[in-house]
Amino acid sequence: MGAVADRLAFPWARTYDADQLAAFIEDLWGAASGDDDLATLDAIEKAVTYHRPADVPCPLSDRELEILTEVASGETRDSAARNLGISVESVRGRCPQIFARLGARNAPHAVAIAMRHGWIDDARVPELTDLPTRIAQGPMGWHLIYQARAAEMRKQPGMTVELGPYGSQNGARGAARRIRKGQFRPFRPAGAFDARQVRTDGGQWIVRASYTATPTSTEKAAS
């Protein structure tokens, strides 16, 4: 799938709708919030296995898969035909067959179905240099951010800190719930932090959180 795709651990998750993606990320965060040991790694593996689509045999012929790969790479029918050394008529004639075999409504739908099942693995994907924060950071990145924000809030009880943005309302709501329940390690024990999901004027979902417990003597000394 190219240089970028080779580094993707969950390429199939990129075809999920907002609710599916939020559910997957929430479960992944929850699994990754344990101790740094094999039990946490096993929990992450189970979360990934639960959300990963089951393997399904590809119903396309080799030529049809080549054409769909060209489409996934952003090629037109003319450029796909040139790249494959076949006629434009051949590409045009095979596209309806490809859509029918995949149960797809159109080319983007066909590409999404094929990529979700891992049938396309060498599409030419351009480098993405400005991924949204919520995608680029990943679970470990979020853990480090949570750790830093929690430390800030512990030093100033009652101070509100914004976290996010999240991919959806469900994602923000789930993160807020886990913060309140102490399911993210930096926010333990349960009940030490208050957190609520909020939609910004720009339409993004964030979490506003604050430390509501009494600082310990260790925290007071550190501040």
For residue 130, pLDDT beyond 70: no
3-class DSSP state of 38: helix
Task: Report the candidate in 29, 73, 67, 24 with the shortest Cα–Cα distance to residue 49.
Answer: 24
pLDDT value of residue 132: 45
Confidence of residue 38 (pLDDT cuts 50, 70, 90): confident
For residues 72-98, average pLDDT: 91
| Residue, of 220 and 118, whose pLDDT is higher | 118
> Which residue carries 């479960």 as its tokens?
27
Average pLDDT, the chain: 80
58: confidence class by pLDDT, cuts 50, 70, 90: confident
Give mean pLDDT, residues 169-197: 91
Least confident residue range of 54-58, 133-137, 191-195 = 133-137
Backbone conformation region of residue 157, classed left if phi is above 0, alpha if psi is from -120 to 50, else beta: beta
Taking the whole predicted model, whether its pTM rises above 0.85 is answered as no
| Identity of residue 149 | R
